[in-house]
Amino acid sequence: MSDKILIKLEDNKIIDFYCDPSNVSDGYHTFHELYQHRNLLFLCFLRMYGGWKSRKHVDGSYHKGWFVAGTVVNGQDISYHLPDNLWDMALVPVLEVAQYRDGHNSIDVLDRLTDFLVKQTL
């Protein structure tokens, strides 16, 4: 799948081209590879700390080809959408609908994970 990319140059000219975002790279990793890492690291986190998975959001909606999984860290929810091909690797209870309750967003999850790392001791 290719998306149209627009780039505004310093002289205000705009160039556009099509590319597959999953193939965009920082010179070391593609977005696709980074998402694979993120997905597998979160599955490891779920195995270590427990959690849940569901095909449906709290409101009953869903995204075809994806499921949502989550856990509680320091009393706060974190969750991610994961591709269906990883369903069997998420060894956590299946819920009819997702369990998160606090309306968190991606910035909240970053803050909560950072807080977890700061407070976690060996």
Determine the pLDDT at residue 121: 56
pLDDT tens for each residue of 4-38: 777 788 888 888 777 777 777 778 888 889 999 99
CB 70 within 8 A of CB 52: yes
Q: What are phi and psi of 29, to 5 degrees?
A: -135, 150
The per-residue pLDDT of the chain, averaged, comes to: 89
Cα distances (angstroms) measured from residue 62 to each of 4, 55, 68, 70, 80? 26, 6, 9, 15, 13
pLDDT of residue 105: 92
Model confidence at 122: pLDDT above 60: no
In this prediction, residues 59-73 reach a mean pLDDT of: 94
**Residue 96 pLDDT exceeds 90:** yes
